[in-house]
Amino acid sequence: MNPGSTLSALLYDPFLHLAVKSIRRSVQDELKNYQDKALLDLCCGTGNQMKILARNGFTNLHCVDFSPAMLEVARKGDHSINLYLYDATATPFADDSFDGVIISFAIHEKDRTTQESLLAEAYRLLKNDGILLIVDYIFDQDTSRLGKAGIWAIERMAGGDHYRNFSKYINRNGLQSLISVDQFKLIRFRRKLFSGVILAIYQKKSS
């Protein structure tokens, strides 16, 4: 299935709803002190995470995705989230525009160069001391076999470059090899979904 198609976009939330529900809640929980702060979701897809934040009193929300079909789904509903059809690796926002940036399930699927550009853009857009929340896969000794099997199955279904990039991401130790310790300080992380998903919170170090 074409990941940018209207059908994929329409099926995305119903398909993943149960799996990601508790992760979305944890992201909201981590952002509880950011209700009126400027928050940006890079590669937001259907905007599901931001809609949950909007329903829970967050007021300054911004979503970027380069898929018109995904943004069409994100547009649905009664909310005031700002939606932008941009490439998340090169947005027109000014430096230091946001207090928080979320990148959720949007790193593992990309090639290394794009992953690095996405993180560089998040760094550029964050204010000093702003926070970066990353949700993505982790495979290590703490990940359960069930978690690994389920994630491999989902990624195999995605196929093509998505699957190849996922495999490389896992083999290169995921986020750990990607995040620059000169740019971001790890605040804490939480594990979800049989310990196969990590919610990592970083703080931007002053440039």
Ligand X SMILES: C[S@@+](CC[C@H](N)C(=O)[O-])C[C@H]1O[C@@H](n2cnc3c(N)ncnc32)[C@H](O)[C@@H]1O
Near ligand X by CB under 6 A: residue from 28, 49, 143, 165: 49
Enter the DSSP assignment of 174. Answer: G
The reply on whether position 106 binds ligand X by CB under 6 A is yes
Binding residue for ligand X, selected from 28, 48, 60, 143, defined by CB under 6 A: 48
**Positive or negative CA dihedral for 29, 44, 35, 52?**
negative
In terms of CB distance, is 66 or 194 closer to ligand X? 66
User: Is there binding between residue 91 and ligand X (CB under 6 A)?
Assistant: no
**Which residues have a Cβ under 8 Å from the Cβ of 159 and sit 6 or more positions away?**
none
**Shortest-Cβ-distance residue relative to ligand X:** 45
Nearer to ligand X, 10 or 185 (CB): 10
**Contact between 28 and ligand X (CB under 6 A)?**
no
**Dihedral of the alpha carbons of 135, 136, 140, 144, in degrees to the nearest 10:** 90
Q: Which is nearer to ligand X, 115 or 143 (CB)?
A: 115
Q: Which region among 82-90, 120-128, 181-189, 190-198 touches ligand X (by CB under 6 A)? A: 82-90
User: DSSP state, 140?
Assistant: S
Q: Does 45 bind ligand X (CB under 6 A)?
A: yes
Tell me how many helices (H) and strands (E) the chain has: 6, 7
User: Which lies closer to ligand X via its Cβ, residue 77 or residue 207?
Assistant: 77
Stretch that binds ligand X, among 39-47, 141-149, 175-183, 199-207 (CB under 6 A): 39-47
Q: Which of residues 124-183 bind ligand X (CB under 6 A)?
A: none
- Per-position b or e across 161-192, b if 16+ CB within 10 A of its CB: ebbebbeebbeeebbeebbeeebbeeeeeebb
Query: How many residues in the chain?
Result: 207
User: Is 74 a binder of ligand X (CB under 6 A)?
Assistant: no
Strands across the sheet containing 197-204: 82-85, 61-65, 39-42, 98-104, 126-137, 197-204, 184-192
- What is the C-alpha separation between 62 and 74, in angstroms, rounded? 11
Residue 66 touching ligand X (CB under 6 A): yes
Contacting positions for ligand X (CB under 6 A): 4, 43-45, 48-49, 64-67, 70, 87-89, 104-106
